[in-house]
Amino acid sequence: MSMQPSHQIQPSIPHNKLQIVSPALEPRAIEVAARHCGATQSVVSFIAKGNEMQIRKIRARGYDCLAEIQIEISQVAKDYGARNGLDPFVLDECTRFVLEKFPMIAIPEIRAAYRSWASGEIETGNAEMYGGTMDVRQLGKVLSAWVEYRNKIYFNYCKEAERIAAEKKEEEDKIFAAKYFAENFHSILEGYKAKVEKWDDVPVFLYDALIERGMIQFEDGERKRILAEATVIIAKQIEDARAESIGKPLKVYYADSLESSKEEHAKVVARKISVFRKVFNK
């Protein structure tokens, strides 16, 4: 990788003026990630926002950020203990090192890494600037510890953000499905009427929708009679399942499950029978 000597480079595009739009952050995910990782919410937000400003990403968009990296490294070195600044050739090598080994971080994360190192938030082992000198080894230790720290935070943020997004989508899908069902109820009902041939094929969800619309009416005692009929059907299903379960663990489990909730199963059967007879007229 060829670079101009560090003392001759001037920033071509200030990092804070890059026209890159980061996705909106999820506040609840920031809160959860901060709690799980023992970080502040501002740190989580900083890391999440910085994901779209990774060095490799902004370079892929055509931004030459070499000058910005060198300026950041040089200033950080001065602020955090390099009393005599950096030799231009050491700075060039530090820049190459960041480009090759840490392209997954954003440029402001270099300073964030040193801030976390100074505060003890990240463990770097032996990373002191001996003699007030910063070198590639020292830079690598600090950035390696930072990347491990920030990856943990970003993983927890993304995991929670994805869970929240899936939850929102599920709720939106439910709302859409309910709206579609309500608007197209009669055509949906006619479709089922045309293809259902026995009570067991009736979708049980139709029962509540038909009751709400006043499309099912019961005579006195009719509900109880249908439920009693359904109870007999379930009892027969349990008996048959027991007979078929000998030497078959899965059949035994099915029979046990059916019997443990036979009242609920009977209610489901009663609802299907009610729709089949009173609405489908079969």
Which residues have C-beta within 8 Å of that of residue 235, sequence separation ≥ 6? 262
Q: Which of 153, 155, 162, 83 is nearest to 112 (CA)?
A: 153
| 54 DSSP β-pair partners | 106
Q: Are 152 and 36 spatial neighbours (Cβ–Cβ below 8 Å)?
A: no
* Residue recorded with tokens 């964030």: 112
Whole-number average pLDDT of the chain: 88
What is the model's pLDDT at position 188?
94
Confidence category of residue 248, pLDDT binned at 50, 70, 90:
confident
What is the model's pLDDT at position 132?
65
pLDDT at 9 over 60: no
CB-side neighbour CA atoms (13 Å) of 171: 6
Q: Are 261 and 234 spatial neighbours (Cβ–Cβ below 8 Å)?
A: no
What is the model's pLDDT at position 26?
94
Tokens of 108: 């402001």
Give the number of residues written for the chain.
282
Measured CA to CA, the distance from residue 246 to residue 235 in angstroms comes to: 18
DSSP 103: T
Q: Which of 240, 231, 237, 219 is nearest to 273 (CA)?
A: 231
What is the model's pLDDT at position 23?
72
133-175 pLDDT, tens per residue? 778 998 999 999 999 999 999 999 999 999 999 999 999 999 9
Q: Which of 25, 134, 126 is nearest to 78 (CA)?
A: 134
pLDDT at 20 over 80: no
Q: State the SS3 of 144-213.
A: HHHHHHHHHHHHHHHHHHHHHHHHHHHHHHHHHHHHHHHHCHHHHHHHHHHHCCCHHHCCCHHHHHHHHC
Q: What are the Cα distances from residue 276, in Å, to 195, 204, 229, 279? A: 12, 10, 14, 6
181-212 pLDDT, tens per residue? 999 999 999 999 999 999 999 999 999 999 99
